[in-house]
A and B are shown apart, each in its own frame.
Chain A
Amino acid sequence: MSENTLYDSVWEQHKVTELPNGQDQLFVGLHLIHEVTSPQAFAMLEEREHEVAFPDRNFATTDHIAPTEAEKRERPLSDGESEEMLSALERNVSEHGITYFGFESGKQGITHVVAPELGLTQPGMTVACGDSHTATHGAFGSIGVGVGTSQIRDILATGCIAADKQQVRRIEVEGTLGEGVYAKDIILKIIQELGVDGGVGHVYEYGGPAIRELEMEGRLAVCNMSIEGGARAGYINPDETTYEYLRGREYVPEGDAFEQRKEYWESIKSGEDAVYDDVVTIDVDGMDPLVTWGINPGQVIELSEPVPAPEDFEARTDREAAERALEHMEFEPGQSMLGYDVDVAFLGTCTNGRVSDFEVAAEVLEGRQISDDVRALAVPGSETVREQCEQRGLDEVFIDAGFQWRRAGCSMCLAMNDDSLEGDEVCASSSNRNFIGRQGSKDGRTVLMSPAMVAAAAVEGEVTDARRFLSDDARTVSPTDVEEVAD
């Protein structure tokens, strides 16, 4: 068992008691609520005539069904089902005294974008939300877990979840990222190496020089996709980068109170003598940008690598998954991902929908036009992100390049609103899941990549090495390089 890690400290501080089934009852310090997974939980609560135990520790917004076209956000929403969900959420939060960031607030957005930027997420907290990407909040050194609707009922009624303590795997990320290679590439690399179920039963602690160098938005992208590696939670120990990000945010104390809080944040960090259940080292030095070639996030390669053949994999399950992936994506083993035709470019989500993501994409798009064959959406992760991007004039860069500049929401990550793939369209996407059907069409094909790579794919109408748009000196890869590797 792990000892003296951040996970151990946070767990101990939030543990209420051990339950008769052997699980621990754990206090949830921050519960985030959205419209899709909560209405049934509120209904269960009312059925039992329970109140919300800690209304001040609950915050709500709307993201999954949120229309991203300004005119479609007029109420009532034109889609009846979406309107019903949104109204239910508004009624529930109002009846139970829960703070809600709706369209009118100017702060609406994806839960995992909104809570960090408002300073709601802080080191040492336990965070839960009815959404598997709650791992995102681990970027601050909190423990964020995705929960189901019955567990949301538990949290509303008792402020707690029943949970099993997991093993802690330290992932030491060594090396320095090259130009045009980002946090998204780090997490894709980790999933490539450890697999989509490698993290089951584990919490991931990310550390090492490449992680320390990341700004908070990069750290959020890394932790966000922990669940794609099978780990329910992933975290990074807080440091000065974390504290400086938090300073001055709306829900963060100021002055002396900040300093006091910081002492607490420092106190929960993994000790130098921390014991881990497992330690894995990953070297990102000289790594090229990664793109997925398959139908799960572990089916991913660096641009310099060819699409693998099923027989390249040792495990039977991986071989079978590769066969299904090649068939769905219509790839041949040995081919390069460079040059793969793209119909849609999608920028945004809880993984890569933050200001720095739009900044880097804008750097690629500045003075360029997207391909005539590409439909391109830029969807800020929150209205706050949108406003900050617009203050910097980024919206104009996107619009001039041919992107649609939208309002905040989950959008085409899972297509619960009107933003969806059609037929077998291929989407270059900054999102987190390339599952079949995920983006709204069961024949749709998703290629996951960093925001810079999405912007470059939009310009060329095919998967292309974004680094050639970013710098004259950066290393780049061409399809011929890859074919040589394949031969």
Chain B
Amino acid sequence: MSEDQHITEVAGTGVPIPGDDIDTDQILPARFMKEVTFDNMAEYLFYDARRDDDGGERSDGSRASSDDESDGEFNDHPLNRFDGASIAVVNTNFGCGSSREHAPQAMMRWGVDGVVGESFAEIFADNCKSLGIPAITAGHEKVVALQEWIEDNPDGEVEIDVEDETVTYGDQVTHGEVDDAMQEALVDGIWDTTALMYSNLSKVERTAAELPYVEEV
């Protein structure tokens, strides 16, 4: 990922992922985090929900692990039906629970470039920002209308405009909201916070030196 990548809009076909309070344990079950890179995370995205068979236990009683891709038939979960989509459309409090970046990493690696939702859990939204994935919120009716439209128009394009805070699909332009910091970061291409903060390292040292509990800097 380049350090100066401006993200003003993202577009592609959509995938509705309906349901409130979808937690990161559902998005990326913990047993698949036993890898030291994010490389394979797309395979485990919504692992249990996407498969008919018990993804946690096979018929011989052993547990599924990351090197086992054989168990479970893909069902009609939206991620299976809308393969190739770039814009995920979700409901309230999406990504609550665990802070695992594995969840948005898995979505990104599966192909998601942007998310439209009623609301997002904070850490999840932060992680999206770190990865340059725009997350835009809109009201319940707008989001449901978009989810229904995608069901009817699986090949239709959905575009998130980060600068204008709109979602465009068919002949509709829906206004939403992008968190100020996320908008600034993406539009100005300054979402790589490491580079940004590293340039202030001498100031950091001064701040730290004034804290009574920091021994020596």
Contact = CB atoms under 8 A, between A and B. Distances in A.
Contacts of B29: 437, 442
B214 A57 contact: yes
B131 A25 contact: no
A146 interface: yes
B57 interface: yes
A388 interface: no
B130 A16 contact: no
Given A16-B207, A40-B36, A48-B194, A197 B56 contact: no
Given A23-B181, A132-B98, A416-B33, A436 B26 contact: yes
A15 B200 CA distance: 12
Nearest to A129: B99
B54 A201 contact: no
Interface residues of A, number: 86
B93 to A, nearest CB: 4
B123 A232 contact: yes
Nearest to B93: A197
Contacts of A148: 99-101, 104, 123, 126-127, 130
Contact of B122 (A39, A158, A200): A200
Contacts of B213: 29, 122, 124-125, 261, 264
B203 interface: yes
A17 B200 contact: yes
B119 A197 contact: yes
A367 interface: no
Contacts of A158: 194, 197-198, 200-201, 204
A348 to B, nearest CB: 16
Given A81-B35, A88-B36, A200-B122, A29 B214 contact: yes
Nearest to A84: B36
Interface string A311-329: 0000011001100100000
Interface in A1-57: 13-17, 19-23, 25, 27, 29, 36-37, 39-40, 43-44, 48, 50, 53-54, 56-57
Contacts of A48: 194
A132 B99 contact: yes
A197 B25 contact: no
A443 interface: yes
A111 B12 CA distance: 41
Interface string B132-153: 0000000010000000000000
Contact of B99 (A21, A131, A296, A442): A131
Contact of A416 (B31, B97, B200): B31
Nearest to B92: A317
A81 B181 contact: no
Given A160-B197, A230-B121, A442-B48, A132 B97 contact: yes
Given A40-B38, A441-B56, A441-B57, A154 B211 contact: no
Of the listed residues A23, A53, A436, the one surrounded by the most CB atoms of chain B closer than 10 A to its CB is A23
A414 B30 CA distance: 6
B96 A230 contact: yes
B30 A157 contact: no
Interface in A145-176: 146-151, 153-154, 157-162, 164
Interface in B47-68: 48, 54-57, 63, 65-66
Interface stretch (B109-117, B161-169, B183-191): B183-191
B177 to A, nearest CB: 13
Contacts of A122: 213
25 contacts: A16-B207, A20-B188, A21-B191, A25-B197, A27-B204, A29-B214, A50-B194, A65-B34, A81-B66, A84-B35, A85-B34, A124-B213, A148-B123, A151-B193, A159-B208, A161-B193, A164-B181, A197-B119, A227-B123, A260-B212, A296-B21, A296-B23, A415-B30, A415-B31, A433-B25
Given A132-B97, A147-B126, 5 more contacts: A21-B188, A132-B123, A201-B122, A416-B30, A442-B55
